Structure 1
Amino acid sequence: MSNIINAGLALNEAKKVAIMIHGRGGTAKSILSLEQSLNLEDFALIAPQAPGNTWYPYSFMAPDKNNEPSFSNSIEAIDGVIQDLKAKGFSTEQIFILGFSQGACLSLEYAAQNAAKYGGVVAFTGGLIGEHVKEEKYKGDFGGTPVFIGSGFKDPHVPLSRIKQSQELLSRMGATVKTFIFEDFEHTIRQEEVDWVNEHILK
């Protein structure tokens, strides 16, 4: 089970919770630094830490078996956090899932495997995980959940084709998906993304 860092409001004081998932080589502490830029003042923040700073060893589009058992363990780690929040009385509408890069992929993948009306899902450069997008492994209805995906048009890790596939599938599952594709090659979080997420999801 991953270690977890808590920040922001205490859970017994918060009405909203953001689960913040770091990227490959990142840390729970590093993803929590987004607290300085995002409208998270009213949130309890939960940041799981991946073993060895990596949620799964290979590309998110590698053959599925190559990323096991790390991938399944990572999905279970996120689910453990969600189930604990539900046990504490939080509804999925009070839960926001947010990640960058590998953490963005994991955010989208977990949400699609367990679709419900979440407060929001934010993927700063990510797409659904797998060698191919297999619609049959996803279930549930997002009920209008706002989902954001931002990326450069030639990101070195996340091809635009997978972002489009992800947008289409999530939309079919009832999510309201917004994509921002930037004319750059940078693997980063841009101010325009932060501004949009603050105004439309973390408001």
Structure 2
Amino acid sequence: MTEISREGLSLEEANKVAILIHGRGANANSILSLKDYLHLEGFALLAPNAQNNTWYPYSFMAPDAQNEPAFSQAIQQLQSLVKECLDQGFKTEDIYFIGFSQGACLALDYATQNATKYGGVIAFTGGLIGEKIRKEKYKGDFAGTNVFIGSSKQDMHVPLSRIQESAKLMKEMGAQVKTLIFEDPQHTIREEEIEWVNKNILSGEV
């Protein structure tokens, strides 16, 4: 059973939930440090810890079979967290996904496999998962959900072409997608990304 780190308000007290998904080689504490930069007041923060600090063993663009069964298990872990929130009385539009790198890929893929109206999907360097994007894998309607993807145009792990392809599919499924692509080669989260997300997704404004 995956260990879940919980910060912010309790599910009983909060009116919104953020599910934060760490990157390869990291852990829940590292992704939870974003609470010091993102506007997450009033949120319950749920951050699962991946076994051995990785959600799946190979690149997110490796042949699909190479990342099984770990990838499907990771998706199921997110499904369990979402179910816990729904059972607690939250609506899907109260649920936000925030991920970095491998966690960003997982956030995007889970949300697109289960597209509906979410509070937001925030992907700091990520794209949909698979050797190729298989449209038949994804279903639902994002109903205007705000999706953010930020990255370097020459990121060492996530090709710009996969980000563009992912954004296109999510738009076709009803998402409002914003991509911020930077000239620097860094695999990181930039101040400009934090500022955009705070203003446009986490501001509480409609």
Same fold, judged at TM 0.5 (above): yes
Partner of 1:103: 103
User: Which residue number in structure 1 is paired with residue 47 of structure 2?
Assistant: 47
How far apart are residue 10 of structure 1 and its match?
A: 1.1
Q: Which runs of 5+ in 1 are unaligned?
A: none
**Alpha-carbon distance between aligned partners in 2 of 1:123 and 1:84, rounded to the nearest angstrom:** 22
Q: What's the CA shift for 1:180?
A: 0.2
Secondary structure (helix, strand or coil) at the match of 2:150 reads strand
**1:45 CA drift (Å):** 0.2
The residue that corresponds to 1:160 in the other structure is 160
Aligned-partner SS, 1:90: coil
Aligned-residue offset at 1:157: 0.1
- Per the alignment, residue 188 of structure 1 pairs with 188
Shift of 1:56: 0.2
TM-score, with length taken from structure 1: 0.99
Q: 2:156 aligned with 1:174, yes or no?
A: no
Count of paired positions: 203
Which consecutive residues of structure 2, in runs of 5 or more, have no partner in the other structure? none
Write the distance in 2 (CA, Å) between the matches of 1:42 and 1:90.
13
Alignment-mate amino acid for residue 68 of structure 2: E
Give the letter for the 2:135 counterpart: E
Whole-Å separation in 2 of the counterparts to 1:118 and 1:106: 15
Q: Distance in 2 between matches of 1:58 and 1:2?
A: 20
The equivalent residue for 1:23 is: 23
> SS of the counterpart of 1:81?
helix
The offset of 1:42, in angstroms, is 1.3
1:113-151 superposed Cα distances (whole Å, 9 cap, x missing partner): 000000000000000000000001100000000000000
Match of 2:94 in 1: 94
CA distance in 1, matches of 2:87, 2:59: 33
| Aligned equivalents of 2:13, 2:85: Cα separation in 1 | 13
What's the counterpart of residue 35 of structure 2?
Answer: 35
Write the deviation string for residues 149-172 of structure 1: whole angstroms up to 9, x where unpaired. 000000000000000000000000
The residue that corresponds to 1:116 in the other structure is: 116
What residue identity is the alignment partner of 1:142? Answer: F
Instruction: Classify the secondary structure of the residue corresponding to 1:73.
Output: helix
CA distance in 1, matches of 2:79, 2:97: 11
Q: Distance in 2 between matches of 1:164 and 1:153?
A: 11
Tell me the TM-score normalized by structure 2.
0.98
**Distance in 2 between residues matched to 1:167 and 1:29, nearest whole Å:** 28
Amino acid at match of 2:83: Q
CA distance in 2, matches of 1:111, 1:2: 20
Q: Secondary structure at the match of 2:103?
A: helix
Q: Percent identity?
A: 63
After superposing on structure 2, the runs of 4+ consecutive aligned residues of structure 1 that deviate more than 6 Å are none
Amino acid at match of 1:58: Y
Aligned CA RMSD, in angstroms, stands at 0.4
